[in-house]
Structure 1
Amino acid sequence: MSAADVAAALEDARFDARQDSRHEHLADDERGRAELAEWERIDQLLADAAPDTVYDPGIDAVVQEELAAEAAAAAVTEAEWREAQRIAARADELQALRELGTLEQTEPREGDEAARDELTRRAGGYVQADVDAWLAHALAAHLGHYRDPAAREAAADLLPVSLLTHAALLTELARLVPAADTGQLAFTARLAASEPEAAAALAAFLTRARSVQD
């Protein structure tokens, strides 16, 4: 755009602003004010440039920064959408495994904490006891991605206290009675859910007792 084109556009924006000011419902039109401010900025940009300089948004630093910010925001939105789709698909898969009765034989993957939350959300906030028990067992036995110490550490911020307490109890009882199976230790889930503080205290007591014996 030439300086004359920009000046004409600026005058049109000023005219529109004057018209809007006469109407109460348009007086606070932020879009109109932003458009006027932008034309004023471009007009000043050309006024400060060499004679006969034309306006090119491709080399306008402000415009390019805005476009870059919009592209970055769009990329974030796209990534969030893809992640939501992945979580929903994994939640569907876990639900299918539950219905087939094979959830306990499945190793957890990275991100299953979010899939657990999705299942809970779908159930209207109802705690999915079987999913929680599955994750607690996997966490205690270091199955799937919980083989990685960093994943187990991250789980402390991703899973509810009752589930973490359940896992801690399973860990200590498995060390105390290595031959015990999940059925024999089913009571730990009920204890962790109904008396989380007492369950945590018991897990801590067993940990201290084991350290003394060692």
Structure 2
Amino acid sequence: MDRSPRDELQALRRLGTLEQAEPRKGDEAVRDELTCRAGSYVQTDVDAWLAHALAAHLGHYADRAAREAAAGFLAPPVLAHAALLAALARLTPGAAVDQLALAARLTAADSESVGGLAAFLTRAVTTGSLA
């Protein structure tokens, strides 16, 4: 019996192995379905997983077009979280995901400000003003 992507994602969550999985095309829709089924409850573990995958270009996000398309599918807090993770990774190459857990907490507190912080850090790194 074939399991739906939603069932697979839920099974990975229950097993505690979600962070080891690479995202596939359509996982953004699965995230939305999970959120709708949960009565708009945000799936923080799924959001953090998608943000990390997007920032690190994992799975189908290795393709630039998939990353650009994700911007139209993922919620702004997920995109802000991904942007902050990417900016922090440029500042501290080799940082482990658990070392960047503060990004998820900041995003949960104020995703709009996190987006601005990510843009600021990206500009600073690009122009070399943080070097």
TM range (shorter): over 0.9
Question: Deviation digits for residues 6-54 of structure 1, max 9, x if unmatched?
Answer: xxxxxxxxxxxxxxxxxxxxxxxxxxxxxxxxxxxxxxxxxxxxxxxxx
What are the ranges of 5 or more consecutive residues in structure 2 without an aligned counterpart? Answer: none
Question: Deviation digits for residues 115-143 of structure 1, max 9, x if unmatched?
Answer: 11111112111000000000000000000
Deviation at 1:192, TM superposition (A): 1.3
- Is 2:97 the partner of 1:182? yes
Deviation at 1:196, TM superposition (A): 1.4
TM-score by length of 1: 0.58
> Whose Rg is larger?
1
- Is 2:52 the partner of 1:132? no
In structure 2, the partner of 1:142 is 57
In structure 1, the partner of 2:111 is 196
- Is 2:129 the partner of 1:211? no
Question: Deviation digits for residues 148-184 of structure 1, max 9, x if unmatched?
Answer: 1000000111000000000000001011011211111
Q: Which amino acid aligns with 1:138?
A: A
* C-alpha distance in structure 2 between counterparts of 1:127 and 1:95, whole Å: 14
In structure 1, the partner of 2:38 is 123
Q: Which amino acid aligns with 2:61?
A: Y
Q: Which amino acid aligns with 1:147?
A: A
* C-alpha distance in structure 2 between counterparts of 1:197 and 1:98, whole Å: 27
Q: 1:154 aligns with which of 65, 69, 77?
A: 69
In structure 1, the partner of 2:27 is 112
Q: Which amino acid aligns with 1:141?
A: A
Q: Which amino acid aligns with 2:58?
A: L
In structure 1, the partner of 2:85 is 170
Q: Which amino acid aligns with 2:10?
A: Q
Percent identity between the aligned chains?
A: 66
Runs of at least 4 residues of structure 1 off by over 3 A? none
* C-alpha distance in structure 1 between counterparts of 2:20 and 2:60, whole Å: 14
Q: Which amino acid aligns with 2:37?
A: R
Please give the secondary structure, in 2, of the residue aligned with 1:178. Answer: coil
Please give the secondary structure, in 1, of the residue aligned with 2:100. Answer: coil
Q: Which amino acid aligns with 2:84?
A: L
1:14-93 equivalence runs, <5 A: 89-93=4-8
